[in-house]
Amino acid sequence: MSSTWIVVIATSFAAFSLKFIGHLIPESWLEKPRVERITNYIPVVLLSGLIAMQTLTDKTKIVIDHRLAGLTVAFIAVIAKLPFPVIIIGAMATSAIFYRYRI
């Protein structure tokens, strides 16, 4: 068995174990206001980290390119409370224009 498969199996086991342990936690612990606030922010933090990694990195280097322009337009559109399709299309078009013309 290759080391890749060992890592995949170990990671799968760890993920399953964490989910199973989550069901064993008493409900009274999860109803505390502090825990509720923290668990509400976890998806936001994880998604923000993913967006930053996908936008600002290329393999092992930090880069600033067309993706950052698209993200900036998307951010401005979100602040302006535009509809979701407008946000996506605006970010996509901006990124494509910057990529095409190497701005």
Per-residue pLDDT averaged across 55-77, rounded?
93
The answer on pLDDT for 16 being more than 80 is yes
Q: What is the pLDDT of residue 46?
A: 95
CB-CB neighbours of 73 under 10 Å = 19
CA–CA distance from 66 to each of 53, 63, 74 (Å)?
14, 10, 13
Task: Give dist(CA 10, CA 96) in Å, integer.
Answer: 39
Q: What is the pLDDT of residue 5?
A: 94
- Using DSSP's 3-state secondary structure scheme, residue 61 falls into strand
Q: What is the pLDDT of residue 103?
A: 74
Residues 41-59: tens digit of each pLDDT:
999 999 999 999 999 998 8
Binning pLDDT at 50, 70 and 90, where does residue 28 land? confident
Task: Give dist(CA 100, CA 103) in Å, integer.
Answer: 8
Q: Where do the structural domains in the chain lie, given as residue ranges?
A: 1-31
Residues 86-100: tens digit of each pLDDT:
999 999 999 999 999
pTM: 0.65
